[in-house]
Amino acid sequence: MLAEYFPVLVFIAISAVIGVVLLSVGGLLGPRRPDSEKLSPYECGFEAFEDTRTRFDVRYYLVAILFIIFDLEIAFFIPWALVLDQLGTTGLVVMSIFVFELVIGFFFLWKKGALEWE
């Protein structure tokens, strides 16, 4: 069984070696001409006017997490849709339960006001 994974291991090893070699050659042979313009912080074309370590509102993170959750939902729908004819009624029922759980979570977040933006 381990012999089946040997080509994958060889592929990963060769890819890692090529990546390290290319990064090293680029770092050694690339031009190095730092000046004040290249070393200055860039933020939308002007100097930063406040500290970048300010606290973000937790709603930014909440929206990001919601996006990831509902985006990952698609990762389950595509393979399911491709093999739906093989899964039959059981696959349809299982995916219906999954979607129902997501809808319950969506309405819970909606009720809690997580989707409200001020």
| Cα–Cα dist 71/44, whole Å | 29
Predicted confidence at residue 39, as pLDDT, reads 74
- Position 63 scores a pLDDT of 78
pLDDT at 32: 84
pTM for this model (two decimals):
0.47
- Kindly state the average pLDDT of the residues 80-85: 89
- Mean pLDDT over all residues of the chain? 84
- Asked if residue 21 lies in contact with residue 27, where contact means CB atoms within 8 angstroms, the answer is no
In DSSP terms, 46 is beta-bridged to: 43
Q: Between 36 and 104, where is the model more confident?
A: 104
Q: Is the pLDDT of residue 54 over 80?
A: no
Distance of CA 91 to the CA centre of its chain: 27
Residue 38: pLDDT band (50, 70, 90) is confident
- Would you state the structure tokens that stand for residue 22, as one six-digit string? 């290319």
